[in-house]
Amino acid sequence: MSNELKEIVRSKYNQIALQSKEQNETSCCGGTSCCGDSSEVDYTIFSDDYTDLEGYNPDADLGLGCGLPTEHAKINAGDTVIDLGSGAGNDAFVARSIVGTKGRVLGLDFAGAMLTKAKINAEKLGFTNVEFFKGDIENMPFEDGLADVIVSNCVLNLVPDKVKAFGEMYRVIKSGGHFCVSDVVVSGDLPEALLKDAEMYAGCVSGAILKDEYLEIIDRAGFKNIQVRKDKEIFLPDEILLNYLSEKGLAEFRSSKTGIYSVTVFAEK
């Protein structure tokens, strides 16, 4: 099932890479194809506004994040930063504006179309110290203790084995280094219809785990000084949920204590 989920995510994000942010936001329900498929999830529903950040490049912004992890990442000039699930390069280019010419930014993604887009963007910007690599977050192609900082934006919820992912993050971060990730977590129990839907997984919903479980995985991986730097509830519109739930199911979901949240988490090695 793990490999099947990865292929679903890879396929969806390869499709999204071929669209602009505006197409993602203005299609009738967001995401990859629409309008003929009313079950598509709005992939931009979690996104924050990057436009005022130094290093922002509109060609790299597909509206796929759920926070601004670089804001809380304590990146310094000269740092080596790894961006997990780097997409078209949005967070990588913001990080590069901080590390400067003496630093290094490494993006990791497993969607070929995203990597192609990111490399084209880096070439257009003339950056020689921003590189993009193809690879799996559960088994990164990086040496031990390489990164001063790891950032990631709305990606780890898409990784089937989060224990492996945070274990790999611990391995590649230097002693004394840290990470800052924005991600999607839940409180309460999501309806079974959402949990079983592949589109909801690729849309960053059904792959999300309980917030306490998420933080416990980070702790078990060996990280210290774990902080939730930002926490905001995400509202999924009725028109999206009704593709998966009955009217009764929707009413039960709305009256339950289940919540979907975007969190930005910082922790040190």
Q: Where are the alpha helices (DSSP H) in 68-154?
A: 90-99, 112-125
CA atoms of 178 and 34, how far apart (whole Å): 39
Beta strands 224-234 and 259-268: pairing type? antiparallel
Beta strands 80-84 and 147-153: pairing type? parallel
Give the CA radius of gyration of the chain: 18
**pTM over 0.75, yes/no:** yes
Q: Where are the alpha helices (DSSP H) in the chain?
A: 2-17, 21-26, 90-99, 112-125, 162-172, 192-195, 198-202, 211-220, 238-241, 247-255
Report whether 230 contacts 25 (CB < 8 A).
no
Q: Which of 172, 81, 171 is nearest to 132 (CA)?
A: 81
Q: What pLDDT score does 42 carry?
A: 55
Report whether 57 contacts 89 (CB < 8 A).
yes
186, β-bridge pairs: 210, 260
The list of the chain residues with pLDDT below 50 reads: 26-39
CA atoms of 179 and 170, how far apart (whole Å): 9
DSSP 235: P
Q: What pLDDT score does 13 carry?
A: 85
Q: What pLDDT score does 146 carry?
A: 98
The neighbour count for residue 196, using CB atoms within 10 Å, is: 12
Q: What pLDDT score does 35 carry?
A: 32
Number of separate domains in the chain: 1
Q: What pLDDT score does 44 carry?
A: 62
| CATH number of the domain encompassing residue 12 | 3.40.50.150
CA atoms of 144 and 141, how far apart (whole Å): 10
CA atoms of 85 and 136, how far apart (whole Å): 9
Q: What pLDDT score does 64 carry?
A: 84
Calculate the alpha carbon distances from 16 to 92, 111, 147, 186, 253 in Å: 18, 10, 28, 25, 29
Report whether 248 contacts 175 (CB < 8 A).
no
What the block records as the tokens of 81 is: 């930063």
Q: Which domain holds residue 94?
A: 2-268
